[in-house]
């Protein structure tokens, strides 16, 4: 049983004090990083190490252990690399060789030794001194198959990271991606800011918020669904270019593309419009793809995708109307709710989402067109009705776009609505929908309208879904696999 295995490891651990002076080391001067050692020396010939004794001092977790009499091979792991280490009975002190039996796979040790190449040509540290740093009391999952149980990989992500290198690599890639995005935005003179997560009113997106309570103020607060309205207040305040990479929270379903908390980058630029945002997006994605994957072209489940600009542009309304034409549907009939419901039934559309002519058209697009947008594609011509924060182009549509990749919405941007009178009217319409039972409709935010009265310059703004972009760039099907700790239901106490 597992307790027996832990008991044996604990007994070994008890002996550390006599054998090595410490049960738990305070620290270890790790003078050489393993990936640096590998980079510097793995290409050298075997003879190089015969002539020159290169001494290194490093530390890591033991991830494999092969004892063969008077020789013991291990692999020592650090975040970016691993290296083989070798204990020879003649090179370490006799009692220290014997004390190797107190070490297990999973333990952290610090070592000092010299480099050599084995008969098979593998760069190896021949250990002269070593010091165990901390015991791993639990047995690690098996080295060959790794940790397969999906649930355990999420619940105990550290085990997944120790044992499954693909998983570790995927997260390192995500980190690199976020770094690249940040670098890009800073190079473009955007200022990085943080705006409230706790908001008295959850605005900036149509979504169901999480509610919470502040005790000292005795007020209800919401976790933000978007930072949008605060970022635009900063534009009013004269911060001409701002961006924020942070979490949003939406109290909605969970599936392979949705987690209740997710990361978005939102950015806003004064004196700009949706056209500049689209150009910037093309440039950004191309740059990030090259930084992360070394190329602007990637493949995803055999599908080829290019991030090289320019991206295709399709009109939401034109595509939806094309569908109506093909099916012989008269658009004017769509004002009749009974007609819409009938059509929803025959084409398998959501009645909930088709409660007006325009919403029906959007639903048609989402269902029949969007899933087929594999290569990066901008969708334009969104109805005013579903875009309460975008500037009107005419009575029907706004200056707004969404970017689709692999059938997935990855970005959403627009020329910001900066007319306070128009904004008030749009909020009123939202408030009415909310009153009529739409839980996702926006609240009337008078404080934001007040800010607009001080003058929001013409502004382009956009939000990019970071998790989804990470999925695409790491060829990952589920959002949970690019989130270190996806939300799971707690296990029930027995």
Min dist CB 38 to RNA, Å, is 13
**CA 82 from centre of chain:** 25
Q: How far is it, in rounded angstroms, from Cα 182 to Cα 261? A: 20
Which of 71, 137, 296, 324 contacts RNA by CB under 7 A? Answer: 71
Which of 29, 47, 94, 119 contacts RNA by CB under 7 A? Answer: 119
Residue 491 contacts RNA per CB under 7 A: yes
DSSP string, 176-210: HHHHHHHHHHHHTTPEE----SEESS--SSSSPPP
Which of 15, 55, 79, 148 contacts RNA by CB under 7 A? Answer: 148
Give me the residue label for tokens 């191309």.
286
User: Per CB under 7 A, which region of 256-264, 275-283, 321-329, 453-461 contacts RNA?
Assistant: 256-264
Which of 27, 43, 213, 492 contacts RNA by CB under 7 A? Answer: 492
Residue 164 contacts RNA per CB under 7 A: no
Q: How far is it, in rounded angstroms, from Cα 210 to Cα 226? A: 12
Which string of x and - marks every residue 73-102 that binds RNA (by CB under 7 A)?
x-x--------x-x-xxx----------x-
Min dist CB 104 to RNA, Å, is 6
Min dist CB 463 to RNA, Å, is 8
Residue 22 contacts RNA per CB under 7 A: no
Min dist CB 143 to RNA, Å, is 6
Closer residue to RNA (CB): 293 or 354 = 354
Closer residue to RNA (CB): 239 or 262 = 262
Residue 165 contacts RNA per CB under 7 A: no
Residue 146 contacts RNA per CB under 7 A: yes
Query: Contact 195/463 with Cβ under 8 angstroms?
Result: no
Min dist CB 29 to RNA, Å, is 27
Q: How far is it, in rounded angstroms, from Cα 466 to Cα 342? A: 38
Q: How many CA atoms lie within 13 A of 60 on its CB side?
A: 25
SS3 163: helix
Residue 365: DSSP 8-state:
I
Residue 475 contacts RNA per CB under 7 A: no
Which string of x and - marks every residue 124-143 that binds RNA (by CB under 7 A)?
x-------------xx-xxx
Query: Contact 189/281 with Cβ under 8 angstroms?
Result: no
Residue 1 contacts RNA per CB under 7 A: yes
User: Per CB under 7 A, which region of 150-158, 172-180, 193-201, 315-323 contacts RNA?
Assistant: 150-158
Which of 421, 447, 453, 477 contacts RNA by CB under 7 A? Answer: 477
Q: Which of residues 383-422 bind RNA (CB under 7 A)?
A: 409, 412
Q: How far is it, in rounded angstroms, from Cα 37 to Cα 56? A: 8
User: Per CB under 7 A, which region of 235-243, 255-263, 417-425, 447-455 contacts RNA?
Assistant: 255-263
User: Per CB under 7 A, which region of 107-115, 164-172, 274-282, 462-470 contacts RNA?
Assistant: 462-470
Min dist CB 310 to RNA, Å, is 22
Min dist CB 217 to RNA, Å, is 28
Q: Which of residues 278-337 bind RNA (CB under 7 A)?
A: none
Q: How far is it, in rounded angstroms, from Cα 322 to Cα 377? A: 18
Query: Contact 347/340 with Cβ under 8 angstroms?
Result: no
Residue 258 contacts RNA per CB under 7 A: yes
Residue 8 contacts RNA per CB under 7 A: yes
Closer residue to RNA (CB): 292 or 370 = 370
Q: What are phi and psi of 211, to 5 degrees?
A: -110, 140
Min dist CB 460 to RNA, Å, is 18
Q: Cα angle at 35 between 29 and 39, to 5 degrees?
A: 125
Query: Contact 292/333 with Cβ under 8 angstroms?
Result: no
**What is the token pair recorded at 255?**
């599936």
Q: Which of residues 331-390 bind RNA (CB under 7 A)?
A: 348, 350, 352-353
Closer residue to RNA (CB): 318 or 488 = 488
Min dist CB 276 to RNA, Å, is 21
């Amino acid at each position: 049983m597992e307790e027996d295995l832990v008991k044996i490891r604990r007994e070994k651990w008890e002996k550390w004090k006599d054998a090595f002076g410490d049960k738990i080391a305070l620290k270890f001067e790790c003078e050489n990083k393993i990936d640096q050692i590998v980079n510097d020396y793995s290409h050298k010939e075997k003879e190089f190490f015969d002539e020159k004794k290169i001494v290194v001092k490093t530390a890591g977790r033991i991830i494999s252990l092969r004892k063969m009499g008077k020789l013991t091979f291990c692999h020592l792991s650090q975040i970016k690399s691993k290296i083989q280490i070798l204990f020879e009975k003649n090179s370490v002190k006799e009692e220290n060789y014997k004390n190797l039996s107190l070490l297990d796979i999973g333990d952290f040790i610090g070592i000092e030794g010299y480099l050599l190449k084995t008969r098979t040509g593998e760069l190896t540290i021949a250990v002269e001194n070593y010091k165990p740093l901390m015991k791993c009391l639990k047995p690690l999952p098996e080295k060959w198959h790794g940790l397969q149980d999906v649930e355990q990989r999420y619940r105990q992500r550290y085990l997944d990271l120790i044992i499954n290198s693909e998983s570790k690599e995927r997260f390192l890639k995500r980190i690199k991606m976020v770094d690249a995005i940040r670098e890009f935005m800073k190079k473009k003179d955007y200022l990085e800011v943080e705006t409230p997560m706790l908001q008295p009113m959850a605005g900036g997106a149509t979504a169901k918020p999480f509610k919470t309570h502040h005790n000292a103020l005795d007020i209800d607060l919401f976790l933000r669904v978007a930072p949008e309205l605060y970022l635009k207040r900063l534009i009013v305040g004269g911060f001409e270019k701002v961006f924020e990479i942070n979490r949003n929270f939406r109290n909605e379903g969970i599936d392979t593309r949705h987690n209740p908390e997710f990361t978005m980058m939102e950015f806003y630029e004064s004196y700009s419009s949706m056209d500049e945002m689209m150009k910037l997006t093309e440039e950004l994605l191309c740059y990030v793809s090259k930084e992360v994957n070394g190329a602007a072209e990637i493949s995803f489940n055999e599908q080829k995708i290019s991030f090289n600009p320019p991206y295709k542009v399709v009109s939401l309304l034109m595509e939806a109307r094309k569908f109506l034409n093909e099916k012989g549907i008269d658009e004017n009939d769509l004002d009749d709710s009974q007609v819409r419901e009938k059509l929803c039934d025959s084409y398998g559309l959501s009645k909930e989402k088709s409660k007006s002519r325009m919403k029906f058209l959007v639903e048609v697009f989402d269902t029949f067109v969007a899933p087929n947008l594999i290569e990066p594609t901008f969708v334009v011509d969104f109805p005013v009705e579903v875009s309460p924060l975008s500037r009107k182009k005419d009575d029907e549509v706004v200056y707004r776009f969404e970017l689709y990749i692999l059938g997935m919405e990855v970005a959403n941007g627009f020329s910001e609505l900066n007319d306070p009178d128009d904004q008030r009217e749009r909020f009123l319409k939202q408030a009415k929908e909310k009153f009529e039972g739409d839980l996702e409709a926006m609240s009337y935010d008078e404080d934001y309208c007040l800010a607009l009265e001080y003058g929001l310059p013409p502004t382009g703004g956009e939000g990019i879904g970071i998790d989804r972009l990470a999925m695409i760039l790491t060829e990952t099907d589920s959002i949970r696999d690019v989130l270190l700790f996806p939300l799971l239901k707690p296990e029930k106490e027995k």
